[in-house]
Amino acid sequence: MPRLDLSASSLDLTRAICDIPSVSDDETALADAIHDAVAALPHLQVHRDGDTIVARTDLGRAQRVAIAGHIDTVPVNANLPTRDIEVDGEPYLWGRGTVDMKAGVAVQLKLAAELTDPRVDITWLWYDHEEVEASRSGLTRLARTRPDLFAADFAILGEPSDGEVEGGCNGTLRAVVRTHGSRAHSARAWMGENAIHAAAPLLARLTDYAPQQIEVEGLVYREGLNAVRISGGVAGNVIPDLCEIEVNYRFAPSRDAAEAEAHVREIFAGYEVEITDVAEGARPGLDAALAQEFVAAVGAVPRPKYGWTDVARFSALGVPAVNYGPGNPHLAHHDEERVPVSQIEAVERGLRAWLSGA
Amino acid sequence: MPRLDLSASSLDLTRAICDIPSVSDDETALADAIHDAVAALPHLQVHRDGDTIVARTDLGRAQRVAIAGHIDTVPVNANLPTRDIEVDGEPYLWGRGTVDMKAGVAVQLKLAAELTDPRVDITWLWYDHEEVEASRSGLTRLARTRPDLFAADFAILGEPSDGEVEGGCNGTLRAVVRTHGSRAHSARAWMGENAIHAAAPLLARLTDYAPQQIEVEGLVYREGLNAVRISGGVAGNVIPDLCEIEVNYRFAPSRDAAEAEAHVREIFAGYEVEITDVAEGARPGLDAALAQEFVAAVGAVPRPKYGWTDVARFSALGVPAVNYGPGNPHLAHHDEERVPVSQIEAVERGLRAWLSGA
């Protein structure tokens, strides 16, 4: 069984964690290694639920911070084991998981081991199944079985943010918009009604759509409304009676789910709209006192997070949360996923400085 | 093994043939029964190639007529065995194959047995795999192995034509038209280009398209250009980089394949167009002397055939050909496929009168 040496550098620890593949559904080997490494630390109370590991200090501090990271990745695509590479003279660690988000997890593990006397109590969470449906996430399961473990005054998700502090996140809504027609043999098309042709004005509404930019607590969130899938057709000689367009609306955290749904229904007025999935965003969470101290300590200029992350889950529980982790989010899921070594070290320094009160 | 009694009425023979299911790829039982029934007739020379049966008179007549019908059907959908039903007081035979085209085949078999002294030599052809790709058709195979068997001065396909004479057929062309974009995470849509959105003006060209009606030898052929399939999309959170629209162009027999292709490329100028399939139509074939005698004998007013049929195959071999068979072509492939008994009898009378010179 692989073992993790938490006294190694955060770079070496990132390399070790990435080289234990942990695609969603296959996290157990890594979860075992993490559990064994932190269970040996006397200053932490360790709880395990499936492949989710929670490790807490209990020092009676006035405040508690939750620091979380998922341990699964999207599928490997010939990009493991990791490699040390250079890009424009700068050293990088290359390979699946380096950005999303094992470098962040490595920094967290190292600090969990070394910060025996932090200025706040800390709840470390490493969880499974983030890269798949939200219903399968280790955090969803834990929120049901042990909601008490989410109690905190502030939360930091180690999702890649280029070493900057990214506040909150946009919400995301998916809907299927349908056009209907009636079938006929394509040799006698005038006997039917073509549902794919009927989608022309619907696609035109998407191309005409002007996405908004919405300021929330000083950060500007950029929205988007896009077709992500289209399908229609029965056979090569049949006029199709159905066309389905799946759209994805990314909405600023100032809108709740009901407002997002109303907006999409208004855009597609006159068409059949089925909302299939919606997750609200999270406001930046930067007005909390702890958040302001954190931002000042790491010397960051906060910016908005566009992608949905589990900060929204903490936000929904009343815990202000931000993203802070090494790696360029544009390279997440990319076949050339790679993290600058300097960002791993910078995030380690930033978190250590703030948590130790140095 | 099922046996066919060719002395039964054409209605009873239709019922018997329909109740031997013969979905494409599964025609052998019916082909065996047809072969055994006609091989017993001393006035016919019988040739078999796979599940295609050819039976010829060789009476030294000045002219020869080919009369053909396919023996396969599209899949059964809980519409066998056949049933005798009434619609608006009129008797029908209901079930898969009654229209497309076993009633036509039954009439042909009955006349093949009874017309021992026709006024022209006759080549009867019953063939497999018409309802699938043209490359698998029994006629394609026979044209390769025994092209001599296609020699004729005129051909009649027993495809359903409501008991009328339908001349020629439209051609059919399929093409895939593509739009391209570039992928990005849908949370940062502005980093990519949406290929589905790029299809909006392409669909608009289809809805704006005004199909032509083109007169060929006195018959008016109605054209059509339709999307029959559309697909695009990678995942629910990815801006799609490809959208494909399959279009089907039904073109009048006055255009050849090259003209049809040029027309489609002109309509979609500026887009990537891949021609995937093209089959030319057939001119009406009604200017041939035998055709005019035939039309006069059955007392029909010829009209155009819109769907592609094997008349085009004979036409391409220089044999003028028409469609003449019982059943409403709109009910072909329909779950409620059914043929009026009166049309079976009328087509039998029409063919018998002309072929026997009565």
- Of B27, B130, B153, B159, which is the active-site residue? B130
* pLDDT range class, residue A65, cuts 50, 70, 90: very high
- The distance of Cα B278 from the centroid of its chain, to the nearest Å, equals 15
CB contact under 8 A, A229 and B196: yes
- Of A100, A130, A159, A223, which is the active-site residue? A130
- Of A27, A32, A51, A72, which is the active-site residue? A72
Structure tokens at A62: 């006035």
Can B72 be counted among the known catalytic residues? yes
* pLDDT range class, residue A29, cuts 50, 70, 90: very high
Interchain contact A235–B (C-beta under 8 A): yes
* pLDDT range class, residue A358, cuts 50, 70, 90: low
Q: Which amino acid is at A330?
A: H
Say if residue A109's pLDDT is above 60: yes
Helix (H) or strand (E) holding A230: strand A224-233
Reported as a single tens digit per residue, the pLDDT across B124-164 is 999 999 988 788 999 999 999 999 999 999 999 999 999 99
Tell me the chain A residues in contact with residue B233 when contact means C-beta distances shorter than 8 Å. 227-231, 246
Reported as a single tens digit per residue, the pLDDT across A240-265 is 999 999 999 999 999 999 999 999 99
Interchain contact B358–A (C-beta under 8 A): no
Interface test with B, best of A169, A203, A275 (most B CBs within 10 A): A203
| Residue B132: how many other CB atoms lie within 10 Å | 14
- Ranges of chain B whose pLDDT falls below 50: none
Q: In this prediction, what percent of chain A has a pLDDT beyond 70?
A: 100
Query: What are the angstrom distances between the C-alpha of B195 and each of B186, B203, B241?
Result: 13, 13, 5
Dihedral angle computed from the Cα positions of residues B274, B278, B284 and B290, in that order, rounded to the nearest 10 degrees: 160
Query: What are the angstrom distances between the C-alpha of B308 and each of A52, B267, B278, B340, B347?
Result: 62, 22, 11, 23, 21
Phi and psi at B19, nearest 5°, equal -80, 0
Instruction: Output the pLDDT for position B288.
Output: 85
Reported as a single tens digit per residue, the pLDDT across B245-265 is 999 999 999 999 999 999 999
| Residue A42: how many other CB atoms lie within 10 Å | 7
Say if residue A197's pLDDT is above 90: yes
Please state, in angstroms and rounded to a whole number, the distance separating the CA atoms of residues A145 and A162.
Answer: 33
Interface of B with A in 259-318 (CB under 8 A): 277, 306-308
Q: Where are the alpha helices (DSSP H) in chain B?
A: 10-18, 28-39, 103-114, 138-145, 200-208, 257-267, 289-298, 311-316, 341-356
Can B130 be counted among the known catalytic residues? yes
* Minimum Cα–Cα distance from B183: chain A residue: A228
Query: What are the angstrom distances between the C-alpha of A326 and each of A232, A272, A348?
Result: 42, 42, 9
Reported as a single tens digit per residue, the pLDDT across A294-308 is 999 888 889 998 888
CB-count exposure of residue A193 (10 Å: 0-12, 13-18, 19+): middle
Nearest to B142 by CA among B73, B215, B53: B53
Instruction: Output the pLDDT for position B135.
Output: 83
Reported as a single tens digit per residue, the pLDDT across B292-333 is 999 998 888 899 988 888 999 998 888 999 999 999 998 988
Tell me the chain B residues in contact with residue A226 when contact means C-beta distances shorter than 8 Å. 186, 189, 194, 196-197, 239
Query: What are the angstrom distances between the C-alpha of B188 and each of A211, A225, A226, B223?
Result: 12, 10, 11, 44
Query: pTM, whole model, 2 decimals?
Result: 0.79
CB contact under 8 A, B234 and A228: yes
* pLDDT range class, residue A218, cuts 50, 70, 90: confident
Average pLDDT over residues A189-202: 95
At residue A307, the 3 state secondary structure works out as coil
Instruction: Output the pLDDT for position B299.
Output: 85
CB contact under 8 A, B248 and A233: no
Q: Which amino acid is at A229?
A: R
Tell me the chain A residues in contact with residue B323 when contact means C-beta distances shorter than 8 Å. none
* pLDDT range class, residue A132, cuts 50, 70, 90: confident
CB contact under 8 A, A203 and B197: yes
With a CB cutoff of 8 Å and minimum separation 6, the contacts of B164 are B300, B301, B302, B303, B324
- Decide if the complex's ipTM is over 0.85: no
